[in-house]
Structure 1
Amino acid sequence: MKTKFRQYLTVLVTALMVVGTVGACGDDSDTDSTPSDGTTETRSVLEVAEANGQFGTLLSAVDAAGLTDTLSAAGPYTVFAPTDDAFAALPAGTLDALLADPTALSAVLTYHVVSGELPAASVVTQTALDTLNGASVAVEVSGSTVKIGGATVVVADVRAANGIIHVIDTVLTPPPAADPEPGTIPEVAAAAGNFTTLLAAVKAADLADTLAGEGPFTVFAPTDEAFAALPAGTLDALLADKPALTQVLLHHVFSGSASAEDVQAATSFTMLSGQDVAVEIKDGKVWIGEAQILTTDIKTSNGIIHVIDAVLIPAPETNQPGNLVEVAAAAGNFTTLLAAAKAAGLDAALSGEGPYTIFAPTDDAFAALPAGALDALLADIPALTNVLLYHAVAAKLTAADVTAKTELTTMAGLPVPITMENGKVWIGGAQILTTDIEASNGIIHVIDAVLLP
């Protein structure tokens, strides 16, 4: 690219030198670079420039761009060449700024060059031309006046060995370069330089690909200082516990794009951790959870980053047990009880809100019934229902609650006695074997015999 640019500048300088030689008088009757003796101009750009002496500004620009030693070019090119007076007319300080910024200088110079040889007759048929800068420049024709961008062509069709030059009276200013597309969330965070710990944690949790994915995501990103402020050992413990680390990191990510304005308008966000984090405005500052938002709206290709000053810690996950039916099924030794509850249509009730206390006979307890007793119950749903409800109390009673009683009123509407003998607890004629098995809607105590009302 640098070699090509040098070539384009070569053409530009060559053109200006030739223009100086033939005299930019506006008369295009003698603009061919071929001398009257029929020979062709063979001088190099550097030789023409040195001999002419009126293109000091252009030569300074070439030198600043590091192109002094490469003033030869292939072609053809069309150069819209500003005069020294055109450079002098730039606002104060503009030229010095360009000479101090080779990238900007290159952008300006290549905006004056078009690939291909376009004589005036071709230029005036266009409405715009694509320059080597990458941007297009407008062409306007009004009578005999031709303008390129905002510059007037003062001399046209000056032939050079490797192209054609049209002299203009103003330096063309290219449009601002479009902002480059930002990187993904991890890329932008890495470039920022103050999220080293966060990115290491993301990598350890195997979340880098997720956060580099399509999104969009909103990340509330703790700085390295925020991680350093965690209690001693916390970060090491998280890095050693991948599930916990993942949960903490996801607690900083919202699925969707939430700008600073969106954040301020919200009262909370449901993070990818599954938990809500509150948003508050205190003393004109915006807080999310226990963290203050320091910097907002850092754009990425797949979302937004807001910088925060503390690590957000999700609430501990609780292993909520299932309902009474689910817990009994998981235990594996209440198959007959569950089949009976289903036959009596009580399984839905025992899965409901509750709370209930179930004195649950094991499969062995049902097997110990007299021969034919279970089949008879299963064939008599009212009697079966009554037996089952005789094992249930419409309240949650722990083992301590049970032993404090002498009898309980069951859901069958009948009392059942509680006794203690040799340190063992009995309900009716059944011994309580295991106590306090928690369920989401009650509690189970395991007994060794079926209670018969």
Structure 2
Amino acid sequence: MLGTISIVFLVATSLFPQSCEADSNSTPKWDIYDLLDSLGLKTFSGLLESTGFMYMLSDDAQGPFTVYAPSEDAFTNLPPSIVKKLQNDDNWSFVHDVIAYHITRGNLSFLNWTTNMMVPTLLDGKSIRLNIYKNKTGEPSLMSASGATLIKADQEATNGVIQVINKVLYNIPDETASNYIQVNSRLRRLAMLMQVGGYPESLDKQNVTFFAPSDEAFQEPGQNFTRLLTNSTKIQDLFRNHTVNNTFYTNGMQILDGGFITSLAGSKLNIRIDKGINVNGASLIEEDISLTNGVIHIVDKLLFS
């Protein structure tokens, strides 16, 4: 056990040199809210103030908490539509839910993260998914919180710890893979295949990645959607070939350039980074859609004919 912890610490030190410079024997000076300000995370702390969470996170008696705090760049890189929603006082409920999703109870060091670890947040019924991703040589190389990369770890406060991440977690998981397919307007043909031929039960089990072909993918040259509708075996094969029994957000795939992941059917899905992520030659046209049981990426081609 001690050997495992040492290995993780060495890997983490190489990944997060800034976070590991702190003296492990030093006593924290600030509560979480004040520490956020000290770390320069002004936008996030401002949202804590507007939603009222600042009072909880500045009270040692209510802790400990672990806060997954987005960097300033994370807010800069948000889509304009999300920025507008975060800035609009009429969207207080949305802002409140987004902020609540970044806070968990307890003091969880990054050294205790495990792959596909689900940690309940202050948003009722919603959990953050933690992952440790390996590169193509099999070495742990990146730590992820619901698809956001950990960039500064274990910033200790008097009432908990801050983990700084590179994205804002506004895409709060609300559906399983099969439910998402049935309600998404870009996946109507896939939903039709589900109704006609069914789908593997594993699609709704925990810790899956599904590469969902868009409606346009079934109109590519060589595809015969009408014939596919009449073949339940091929429909089942399609779902198994597009499902991976692990949760791969894009940050986990980016470190696999030139490598592969394995589908539920046992087929290799080759990962290439070329102006974006390509999986077996298909581009991700919508990515990192968090689910209650994993993640979906919408692709522009079928991964296998």
TM-score bracket for the superposition, by shorter chain length? 0.3 to 0.5
Greater C-alpha radius of gyration: 1
Given the two structures, how large is their TM-score scaled by the length of structure 1? 0.30
Given the two structures, how large is their TM-score scaled by the length of structure 2? 0.42
The one of the two structures with greater contact order (alpha-carbon pairs below 8 A, sep at least 6) is 2
